[in-house]
Amino acid sequence: MSHKLHIVSFNVPFPADYGGIIDVYYRIKALHKLGVEIHLHTFTYGRPAAPELDALCSSVTYYRRRTGLPSALTKRPYIVESRDSKKLIANLSKDNAPILLEGLHCCSVLEAIDGSRIMVRAHNVEHEYYSRLADATSSLFRRIYLRSDARKLERYEPLLAKAAAVFAVTEADAAHFRSIGCKNVLLMPSSHADDEVVSTPSQPLQSDGVYALYHADLSVPENIEAVTYLADNIFSKCSHRFVVAGRNPSKALSDKLSQLPNVTLKPNPDNETMQRLIAQAQVLIMVTQMPTGLKLKLLNSLYAGRHCLVNSAMVAGTELGKLCTVADNADSQLQALQSLMDSPFTQQDIDRRRQLLGSLYSNEANARILISQLAD
């Protein structure tokens, strides 16, 4: 039976080139493939209209996000207030089809429309995420803003209990949403670009061609903190070759890495180059101080790369630690790195990934979880 579904996205979900937008786009793609009639409503924020979405959606309606000081000086969180739209409410009220809100960002809809037809995709526990962003930033003004909005987000979050269903990214997030009164919370891991595991075996040789990779958006405070930690505690403490790749590294970060002769910085690689770096690395290093949400770069690394060395926060609330080497301090990370650089990545490792990832992180399986909540 064909289902009609309104999806409200916090930003234009194409191109699918960062975090939550990747989740939104590949969910739309999977739902379309399963025959769902999608009516997409999306706010514009630094991204133009995307005609590519017309092939996946029966209709696409764009709304202007009201950025600026007036949206910041309210009781509601800025990410919510700036997406409050009378035009959106009017359009969603024209029929009784189910509605999926992508993120707490879009939940002003829950204040205006009966929650029995509304589902929410929770990309993070947003107030925790904002608090950790505040801890990671060096800007006093930005820290004050982030802490203020973290408090607003925590006060606003119980509104989610009005929704018919909340889809959480991890079990840890799901437990949190149940604790604030949400009755129907389902685990639905992030949708992603990878359809199958394409990792290749390796027999590492003691040569200059063997390297470990750290990849991330290098303009994000969380990732700047991570690569700075790695430079001080890992890269500078051993002779292995390292590659750091990602978007928009600052001059300060570039200068810091240039002082380490065994580190090569690859700024702003295109997707093809990044995927080649991931595929050919002997070890992919991923650390974070934010145990929130599901790290899509970890999923991509497991689908396309070899050994993954992570800390506990990177795999918190997921089953993915079973496929990684987990180490939480510099000494254990150095020891684990040495072992992995010298260890073959085998077909048996690849088969284990295919088994776990295929059962828990399939885009089609996740789309069917959502479809199960749609009224006939």
Q: What is the mean pLDDT of each run of 10 residues along the chain (376 residues)?
A: 90 88 95 97 93 97 90 88 96 97 96 96 91 83 90 96 95 93 94 90 70 92 91 94 94 96 95 93 92 77 96 87 95 96 94 88 91 80
pLDDT of residue 159: 97
pLDDT of residue 35: 95
Query: Is the pTM for the entire model greater than 0.85?
Result: no
284 forms beta bridges with 213, 308
Hey, what CATH class is 4-192+361-371 in?
alpha beta
Q: Domain 211-358 belongs to what topology? A: Rossmann fold (3.40.50)
Residue 128: phi and psi, rounded to 5, are -70, -40
Query: Is residue 151 within 8 Å of residue 131, measured between CB atoms?
Result: no
Rounded (10°) CA dihedral 183, 189, 193, 199: -170
Q: CA 75, CA 64: separation in Å to the nearest integer?
A: 21
Structure tokens given for 110 = 């829950």
Structure tokens given for 217 = 């958006």
pLDDT of residue 23: 93
pLDDT of residue 162: 97
Q: How are beta strands 307-310 and 325-326 bridged, if at all? A: parallel
Tokens 């959106």, residue located: 88
Domain with CATH 3.40.50.2000 in the chain: 4-192+361-371, 211-358
pLDDT of residue 24: 96
Nearest Cα residue to 315 out of 307, 324, 306: 324
pLDDT of residue 295: 75
pLDDT of residue 206: 56
How many other C-beta atoms can be found within 10 angstroms of the C-beta atom of residue 371?
A: 17
CA atoms within 13 A on the CB side of 181: 8
pLDDT of residue 98: 97
pLDDT of residue 207: 55
Query: Is residue 280 within 8 Å of residue 202, measured between CB atoms?
Result: no
Burial of 348 (0-12, 13-18, 19+ CB in 10 A): exposed
